[in-house]
Amino acid sequence: MSAGLLSAGVMTGLLFAVGAVGASSAPASTPPSAASSTGWATAIYTNAVPGVVAITSSGITSSSGESQVATGTGQVIDSQGDILTASHVIAGASSVTVKFQNGTARRATVLGVDRSTDAAVLHVSPAGLTLHPLTLGSAQSLAVGDPLAVIGNPFGYNRSLSTGVVSALDRTIPTPNGFALAHAIQTDTAINPGNSGGPMLNARGEVVGFVDQIATGGSGANSDTGVGFAIPIEVVKSELSQLEHGAPVTHTYIGASTSPALEADGALVQQVNAESPAALAGLRTGDLVTAIDGTPVRGPSGFVAALAALKPGETVSLTVQRNSRTLTLTATLANQPSNPPTG
């Protein structure tokens, strides 16, 4: 059975979300041994859980035309009533409800959505609420083996805690609009449907990412694989202002997909979309991209990450191996379209 990625709650090819459809110089974290400490987990949970909310999205239309309900998780990010979640949790919903730890439920409005990073910001009226914004930290200093905690609503079991470690960094995962996102955090922390949008916390209780996907062998849960992914909080921090004001978020687009090179470093070009920046630069299927602006490319993840760090309109130099020749191609990056071109 081939593995897929579990996302919002409706199977779409290999992407399936983790929202469930259904009824200083200090180290970034303490040593891994602290992650096994009950006191560590308890302290993280006690401090963070008031800022974690359960999200119910109603009115989602299934492929059969029936109305469905999706559940997920969100995290309070300020005292004005703004809440961060995964965009696939609220995709297609006609009504979104947020429920706080004390049982208070509020109707939420969607302020902004970025399907390229699977991020969304909701808003509820703060009147009468005592809000507990979570502290947004940084994923940049994470290392493999660092302890992590996740709080969410798996299978509707609200505000459940799970702990684990960073399994790997700089993974590339698909996004709801069909593009790829670099720098994802891989973890063995238990993540299941309903966790999407919830906080991933380091050992200091700071948010280092939001839960997004799991790899699944087909069961619809990660118990058989233990592989989950989170979007680094830096990705969201850089666009929070736009999302909170409903402004569009732009991303770079080159129009080429790549795969690992079997016997060499670099990214092997699998497809070049017609009239894309890659096509206009002369990139071809079968080319091996070995560097971008002189910096070596380490596989497809490195290719995506290098381009993601740039802005639309910027010009990049691609070092390419084509048969026995080394070429230098120049591409002017464009704005990422809403959906990947088909050819």
The residues assigned a catalytic role are 88, 118, 196
* Measured CA distances, 61 to 15, 90, 325 (Å): 18, 12, 52
Considering just the CA atoms, what is the radius of gyration of the chain in Å? 20
CA 58/CA 8 separation, integer angstroms? 13
Specify the DSSP element, H or E, that contains 48.
Answer: helix 38-48
236 within 8 A of 211, measured Cβ to Cβ: no
CA 100/CA 129 separation, integer angstroms? 9
User: Helix (H) and strand (E) counts for the chain?
Assistant: 7, 23
How many C-beta atoms lie closer than 10 Å to residue 102's C-beta?
A: 8
41 within 8 A of 161, measured Cβ to Cβ: yes
Please name the residue that has the structure tokens 């919830």: 198
86 within 8 A of 119, measured Cβ to Cβ: yes
151 within 8 A of 132, measured Cβ to Cβ: no
CA 127/CA 266 separation, integer angstroms? 54
Which residues are 229's β-sheet partners? Answer: 186, 213
53 within 8 A of 83, measured Cβ to Cβ: yes
- Among residues 133, 146, 134, 88, the alpha carbon closest in space to that of 113 is found at 88
Q: How does DSSP classify residue 136?
A: B
Q: Which residues contact 232 (CB under 8 A, 6 or more apart)?
A: 139, 140, 183, 184, 185, 208, 209
